[in-house]
Structure 1
Amino acid sequence: MSDHVAPARRRGLAEEVADRIREAIFSGAYALGAPLREVELSGTLDVSRGPVREALRLLEREGLVRCEWHRGTTVTTLSPEDVTELDSLRGALEDLAVRQVVAHASGEDLAFIEKTAGLMDRAADEHEMVRLDIAFHDAVFAAARHQRLVDAWQAIRCQVHLFLLTRVGRSAKDYLECVPSEHHGLVTALRSRDAARALDLFAAHRRLALDVLTAPTTPD
Structure 2
Amino acid sequence: MSEPGRVAPARRRGLADEVADRIRDAIFSGSYEPGSQLREVELSVALGVSRGPVREALHRLEREGLVRSEWHRGAMVTTLSSEDVTELDSLRAALEQLAVRLVIDHATDEDLTAIDKAVERMDRAADEHEMVRCDIDFHDAVYAAAGHRRLLEAWEAIRSQVHLFLLTRIGLNTDGYLACVPVEHRELAASLRARDREAALELFAVHRGQALDVLVKHHRSDVRSP
Compute the TM-score of the two structures, normalised by the length of structure 1.
0.96
Matches within 5 A, 1:34-53: 34-53=36-55
Q: Which residue of 1 aligns with 2:199?
A: 197
Question: What is the number of equivalent residue pairs in this alignment?
Answer: 218
Q: Does 1:24 align with 2:26?
A: yes
Matches within 5 A, 1:46-85: 46-85=48-87
Q: Which residue of 2 aligns with 1:207?
A: 209
Matches within 5 A, 1:14-163: 14-163=16-165
Deviation at 1:173, TM superposition (A): 2.4
Q: Which residue of 1 aligns with 2:172?
A: 170
- Secondary structure of the corresponding residue to residue 76 of structure 2: strand
Aligned mates of 1:133, 1:105 — CA distance in 2: 20
Aligned mates of 1:85, 1:132 — CA distance in 2: 23
- Secondary structure of the corresponding residue to residue 23 of structure 1: helix
Aligned mates of 1:58, 1:173 — CA distance in 2: 34
Aligned mates of 1:119, 1:38 — CA distance in 2: 35
Unaligned runs of 5+ in 2: none
- Secondary structure of the corresponding residue to residue 74 of structure 1: strand
Unaligned runs of 5+ in 1: none
Aligned mates of 2:213, 2:159 — CA distance in 1: 20
Deviation at 1:70, TM superposition (A): 1.1
Deviation at 1:6, TM superposition (A): 3.2
Give CA-to-partner distance per residue, 1:92-131, whole Å, 9 cap, x none: 0000000000011000110110111111122100000000
Aligned mates of 2:67, 2:10 — CA distance in 1: 25
- Aligned-residue sequence identity (percent) comes to 66
Aligned mates of 2:35, 2:57 — CA distance in 1: 18
Compute the TM-score of the two structures, normalised by the length of structure 2.
0.93
Aligned mates of 2:156, 2:74 — CA distance in 1: 26
- Secondary structure of the corresponding residue to residue 3 of structure 1: coil
Aligned-pair Cα RMSD in Å: 1.3
